Amino acid sequence: MKRNLWRIWLLSLLCVCVSCGEHIPSDSVPVPPDYAQAESWFEGGIASGKAYDVFYVVPTCVFDYADEEGGVCHYMDVYNPSHRASVDGPIRLAEGIFAEEANFFAPYYRQITIESWMEDESVIESRFQVAYADILEAFRYYLDHLNGGRPFVLAGHSQGGKAVIELLKGGMTDEEFARMMVAYPLGYPVKDTDRSPRLIPASDATGTGVFVTFNSVSAPDKLPPLLSGSRAAINPLNWRADSEPATREQHLGAVFLAADGSIRSEQAHMIEARLDPATKALVVTGVDPMDYYVPSLAGLFPPGNYHVVELNFFYRNLQQNVKDRAAAFWAREKEAKP
């Protein structure tokens, strides 16, 4: 696909249809969602009769916007149709990856805006408390009213990955954690300060009760400060946590979707990848970094950072891995029975 078409597609993926407001300080916070209502969930949050679930937290898709008083709001309004439309495309991408065999639950939440991630850490953490309060409430409602005791996969990307890390640190009971097949806090670092006995890094393709994460770049120095400092990562092509390179033959397929969730294009054996031992960055080769660069997001993701397309790049490998880990979970459950 030509470079300019990639940029148009990426801008669409990143939801730039949500307009930016004036950068005027504002403490405006939208009305919180009610997770007892179907409208607070993507496609109603209804189980489809599958044996296990996926609980997914969508990445950042909303820019700052003007509220009714003319100030700036730094949070998604879950009742705003254009905001909901903005996150639906990335949610459909995740549904295709994680929920081919599973019931799929994705809450709408007051995610913090793209501009928020350009602030200093104290501002990010302060604003994120609003987003995480929604996610925790949605997760607790899901476990108490929608899950029905089934095993589940916990997944998220970017801001959603950060939320998954926090849920692992304190969002569930021991019994609930025992039913968690695997967690995918993708596109966000698990740092030394993130400590919990439930934060167990994956080291192969079939471990269960573990977390899977990576941040993909063309070179280690393309990892921005926001995504740096992870104490663990894994290569989604060969499922190794060391620096052993993975080949194109191990790449099962990159997938790009249309807005309705249908596959627009797909290509296998497109990329290679290796983990950099010093930074834990996933170094990807085989593509032109400028084809995936979005100038409007240069403050977050410089040329050579593949954050906005890493779920697309590893679509088929992740899709297969969810199935492999679910099968391993069932096998271990069967072995544990007397």
* Angle of the 159-170 helix axis to the 121-141 helix axis, nearest 10: 60
pLDDT of residue 27: 63
Question: Does 1 have pLDDT greater than 50?
Answer: no
pLDDT of residue 336: 83
Average per-residue pLDDT for the chain: 91
E strand residue ranges, 106-232: 152-157, 180-186, 216-217
pLDDT of residue 65: 94
- Separation in Å, CA 153 to CA 105, 139, 200: 10, 12, 15
pLDDT of residue 219: 97
The pLDDT tens digits for 169-182 are 999 999 999 999 99
The pLDDT tens digits for 254-312 are 999 998 889 999 999 999 999 999 999 999 999 999 999 988 888 899 999 999 999 99
Please, which pLDDT band fits residue 70 given cuts at 50, 70 and 90? confident
220 by Cβ neighbours in 10 Å (0-12 / 13-18 / 19+) ranks as: middle
The pLDDT tens digits for 95-144 are 999 999 999 999 999 999 999 999 999 999 999 999 999 999 999 999 99
E strand residue ranges, the chain: 53-57, 65-66, 72-73, 103-105, 152-157, 180-186, 216-217, 254-257, 263-267, 272-275, 282-285
Question: Does 10 have pLDDT greater than 50?
Answer: no
Task: Name the residue ranges covered by the structural domains of the chain.
Answer: 3-336
In the chain, what's the furthest Cα-to-Cα distance?
A: 64
Please, which pLDDT band fits residue 14 given cuts at 50, 70 and 90? very low
pLDDT of residue 22: 34
pLDDT of residue 24: 35
Query: Which among 259, 272, 251, 240 has a CA at the least distance from the CA of 320?
Result: 251
Query: Which among 3, 2, 1 has a CA at the least distance from the CA of 295?
Result: 3
Question: Does 26 have pLDDT greater than 60?
Answer: no
For the entire predicted model, the pTM comes to 0.92
Strand pairing category for 103-105 and 53-57: parallel
Instruction: Report the alpha-carbon distance of residue 68 to residue 46 in Å, rounded.
Output: 33
The pLDDT tens digits for 220-265 are 999 999 999 999 999 999 999 999 999 999 999 999 999 888 999 9
- Separation in Å, CA 150 to CA 39, 42, 51, 121, 181: 23, 20, 7, 37, 10
pLDDT of residue 337: 78
